[in-house]
Chains A and B, each alone.
Chain A
Amino acid sequence: MNQIDKIVFGDNQFFGINHMSQEKAQQLSEQFYKIQNIFNVYDIAIDCGIKAIMLNSNQRAIDICDYFRKNESKYSDLNWYPSIPYPHKYANIISEKGIFPAINELLFSNNTASGVLGMIAKGSSAIFTKDVIKLMQMLIDAEVKMFKGLNIKVIFLQNVVTDLLLGFGIKEVFEEYCSYIENKYKVIPGLITLNLPYCITKLKEWNIKNVVICSSINKIGFTMSPNIASYEEIILNNNPNEYQIMAMSTLASGAIPPIEAYEYINNQNIQSVVFGASSKKHIEETVRLLKG
């Protein structure tokens, strides 16, 4: 399997996401209201040696992608790790209209509607598995579109979706997702999950390999289900030729001091770390500590 970057620069800090404090989240969203401030942080990160970026397919990501495409010569050796979908876009429309009308609206507004959607809109029960798969592929295409022209390495499915589908335990959905990403986009399929042991166990059972798994991995077991011991065991015995593992939430939202956090991470059998930070000091420090 094509090797993923050891250090990936994440995006939560730009979009007013902070899992510990509403105030901090507000402050971040004001700080990055001007998109130039986001580009400035990317430049700092790149100066510190970052070569890979993870970015969720939200509204602001459209402008970010545009900027990097326009300045391709300056940023030619960057690798991109998109994560899809942008869950909040769907959440609000779904609460107003229901799941299927929402999907309809999203796809119709993209002018990519086809027969299957018409059928779903009419509430027809004559829907085939292949139609559902087709629908899934159209949703993927709609989300990945904004990243076109960038050098994509992995396409991740957000944990809200991955974990919901994992619970359903439907092999076909994961098979189809992975093969579509591999065949159409020629990149590695990725899954973000907060249930890494469950996820890897299922993928093995289904004989689905060559997947990047991104999951919270930190010294205190924060958002690591079912528990840290199961994570450590499965990570220790993992074969990176089958599943490359990328750690996120390594600082557990700031609960673990960086030195301690990365000492733990550097001792795990994992291939990559995604982190977010918005100051030069923190970015430099993280890169230094991760290089050990």
Chain B
Amino acid sequence: MDKNKIKIGIIGFGRMGITHYSIINSHPNVEIVSVADTSKTILSILKKFNKELNVYTDYKELIDESKPDAIIISTPPNLHYPIIKYAYERGVHVFCEKPFTANKQQAEELTNLFANSNLVNQIGFAARYGDVLNKAKELIDQKVIGDAIRFKGEMFSCAIIKKTSGTNWRDNEENGGGVVYEMSSHMIDLINYFFGEPDNVAGTVRNKVFSKNVDDLVSTTLIYNNGLVGTLYINWSDESYRKPMISLEVFGSKGKIIADFYGYKIFLSKENKELNLRKGWNTFYLTDVYKPTPFYVRGGEFTNQLYNFVELILGNQKTNLCDFAEALKTERIIDLMFKNSITINN
């Protein structure tokens, strides 16, 4: 085994686990030593092609026997808490897929534990690593559109467009399924990233359309004590979107900005000479702000995020874009949404 490489174990080998394996295996200073999943079929196939890999059906064995320096967790969300806790007790760095946990209390406990350790801890809110959204954040921080007054965040996908059987973990709220945890958590996290944690939540309405046990659509209003207000609308049952879409519109005292993965538009009431922006509309595309990613699988965000995790462990980078304390904010907002919401059955 190469001493200069960090040893990584991957727990949960579904869609995200497979993606993470591919991405991080391309990193020159990483060696994937083990994979855990409850599906023996998946493990047996993996082992056939990579004889040196250790495979486990029990994540505890993975941690105790293959002794990784760090783990990547991509199991259903209800397992995030016990796995992270176990890793903490054994001094292992943790990257865990979003949502952090399936309830606020668990997230609080884990955040406190890791705050008092030197272990790198990160949650997979990949939208924070998007080139366009980061540019939009930078412009808002520079007050190019003045003080932010209102925002509108939207996400759409066609993930659930038929009645479901209810057997998948995504169809169970206690397991961290449903559109609120699964999808709107991305948007809430982005809002936390842009503006900090909202102080209040109002008017949460959820619709159950196709899913047997959980909601498919949600809208809510986020309110800040400083006067900033925003509405969110998230829908994973919209067939008109072939690919998932995320967009954020921010209205400010001097103009507005509309951003998604592919580009951003700024409207200004006065010319900004310094940044070479016209009065009126200015349109920019991803190509204007694109930064190459070291290894491209399913977009640069996932790669930049995992490379950030590894570089933090190696000590080559200092800024963690989404540690547990950041992701805890989203858990608190979701908790507020659930406490006071109306559900409509369609």
Contact = CB atoms under 8 A, between A and B. Distances in A.
A226 B293 contact: yes
Interface string A210-252: 0000000000111111111000000000000000000000001
Category for how many chain B residues contact A? 35 or more
A21 B263 contact: yes
Contact of A166 (B22, B43, B48, B290): B22
A132 B49 CA distance: 10
A224 B19 CA distance: 19
A195 B296 contact: yes
Contact of B287 (A22, A92, A225, A253): A253
A260 interface: no
Contact of A164 (B18, B44, B45): B18
A259 interface: no
Given A92-B158, A164-B18, A167-B23, A127 B44 contact: yes
Nearest to B294: A226
A170 B285 CA distance: 36
A167 B40 contact: no
Interface in B117-176: 158-162, 164, 168, 170
Interface in A86-118: 88, 92, 94-100
Contacts of B15: 94-95, 99
A31 B104 CA distance: 48
Interface string B68-85: 000000000000000000
Q: Which has the most chain A C-beta neighbours within 10 Å: B48, B159, B298?
A: B48
Nearest to B44: A125
Interface in B22-62: 22-23, 25-26, 39-45, 48-50
A129 B48 contact: yes
Contacts of B262: 19-22
B295 interface: yes
Contacts of B288: 255
B296 A225 contact: yes
Contacts of A21: 262-263
Contact of A170 (B41, B50, B162): B50
21 contacts: A19-B262, A22-B262, A92-B161, A99-B18, A100-B41, A120-B41, A125-B41, A132-B45, A164-B18, A167-B21, A167-B23, A168-B21, A168-B25, A169-B25, A170-B49, A220-B290, A221-B292, A225-B293, A225-B294, A225-B295, A254-B285
